[in-house]
């Protein structure tokens, strides 16, 4: 009897002992799972960081290659303009610098191994040189802190030709007067003059509507010094605006005549229009010192474009302004 009671008393103790044995095993399993999760998380983070580092390095390499190639396009323009300066004479659209560089494939040059170009990116380069003095230079508007009336009239005629209200010319002239020292001369309308713009696109700072500025932009340029309008390269609208009293029909006559025989001097244009033409050699000419160089690099669906203003000083070509734009090929539109 006593033996039976002792057996019954010992039976409930077995489950408790089993539970105690399971607790250490469950805690160890949970700890192992946490460690595995931490290791997996750390490994994923390391792989991601390595991937990002590779991507950043590839992007930096592509940027450096693109900058190198676009610098080559600028050097190409320097060589052509230097050779043109050796010959001297008037600058016109029949000279080599006016012929654009057609888009050329550069994938072979970007490949690490010239014998294996299968993995090289599809890269294409194009370039063009245009005469900056074919457009009206806004620097002519202000002289000694004052707006020059004759130059303001020129800008107003350009606004009329572009279908832009004459108010835009007044805004531009007043803004440039204030920005270029009108306050020091006592002529500023504001005690806090605006920041001087560095490009035509920045004229919107003066309150010019973007659509109006977009129509005016092909006829305007902002150069560091006063310049003349080149009769051999300017459009008929710019010529008609620069020569007081000249209508578009007479300006078109000049454009047609120069396409056959470029003007060697302002007197050639004066003789064509007659002695009564009010052609001022201080405002128009037949030679240029400033040119705009455009280099365009296309890699896959990305387009990188660099625009530079170059001043020709004798045989030296000095870049005075550089602007780089990045865009999608779809957004860039047809070439």
pLDDT digits over 316-330, tens only? Answer: 889 988 887 765 443
Q: Is there a domain that residue 134 lies in?
A: yes
Provide the sign of the torsion angle of the four alpha carbons 113, 117, 121, 127, taken in this order: positive
Q: List Cα–Cα distances, 114 to 65, 104, 118, 120, in angstroms.
A: 16, 17, 10, 10
Distances (CA, A) of 58 to 106, 116, 302, 317: 18, 19, 15, 33
In a domain, 199, yes or no: no
Q: 284 in a domain, yes or no? A: yes
Express each pLDDT in 206-217 by its tens digit: 888 899 999 999
Question: Is 144 within a domain?
Answer: no
The answer as to whether 256 is a domain residue is: yes
Q: Which helix (H) or strand (E) segment is 131 a member of? A: strand 123-131
* Helix segments in 181-263, DSSP class H: 210-216, 236-242, 248-260
Residue 233 lies in a domain: yes
pLDDT band, very low/low/confident/very high, at 39 (cuts 50, 70, 90): confident
Checking if the pLDDT of 29 tops 60, the result is yes
In a domain? residue 56: yes
> What are the tokens at 104?
């050329």
Q: Is 160 within the bounds of a domain? A: no
Q: How far apart are CA 285 and CA 90, in angstroms?
A: 9
The domain total for the chain is 1
Grouping H, G, I as helix, E, B as strand and the rest as coil, residue 331 is helix
> Which has the higher per-residue pLDDT, 152 or 52?
152
Domain membership of residue 321 as a residue range: 1-139+219-335
């Amino acid at each position: 009897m006593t033996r039976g009671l002792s057996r019954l008393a010992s039976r409930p103790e077995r489950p408790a002992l089993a539970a105690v044995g399971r607790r250490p095993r469950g805690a160890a399993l949970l700890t192992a799972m946490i460690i595995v999760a931490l290791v997996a998380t750390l490994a994923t983070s390391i792989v991601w960081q390595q991937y990002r580092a590779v991507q950043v390095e590839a992007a930096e390499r592509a940027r450096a290659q693109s900058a190198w190639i676009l610098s080559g396009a600028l050097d190409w323009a320097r060589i052509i303009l230097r050779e043109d300066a050796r010959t001297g004479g008037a600058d016109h659209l029949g000279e080599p610098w006016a012929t654009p560089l057609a888009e050329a494939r550069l994938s072979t040059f970007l490949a690490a191994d010239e014998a294996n170009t299968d993995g090289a990116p599809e890269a294409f380069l194009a370039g063009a040189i245009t005469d900056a003095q074919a457009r009206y230079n806004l620097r002519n508007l202000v002289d000694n802190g004052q707006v020059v009336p004759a130059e303001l009239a020129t800008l107003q005629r350009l606004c009329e030709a572009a279908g832009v209200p004459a108010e835009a010319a007044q805004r531009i002239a007043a803004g440039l007067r204030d920005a270029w020292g009108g306050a020091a001369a006592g002529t500023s309308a504001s005690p806090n003059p605006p920041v001087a713009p560095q490009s035509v696109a920045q004229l919107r700072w003066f309150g010019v509507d973007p659509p109006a500025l977009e129509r005016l932009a092909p006829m305007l340029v902002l150069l560091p010094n006063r310049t003349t309008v080149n009769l051999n390269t300017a459009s008929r609208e710019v010529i008609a605006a620069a020569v007081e009293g000249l209508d578009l029909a007479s300006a078109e006559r000049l454009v047609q005549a120069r396409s056959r025989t470029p003007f060697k001097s302002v007197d050639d244009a004066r003789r064509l229009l007659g002695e009564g033409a009010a052609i001022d050699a201080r405002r128009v000419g037949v030679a240029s010192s400033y040119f705009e160089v455009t280099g365009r690099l296309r890699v896959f669906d990305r387009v990188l474009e660099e625009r530079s203003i170059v001043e020709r000083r004798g045989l030296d070509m000095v870049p005075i302004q550089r602007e780089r734009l990045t865009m999608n090929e779809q957004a860039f539109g047809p070439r």
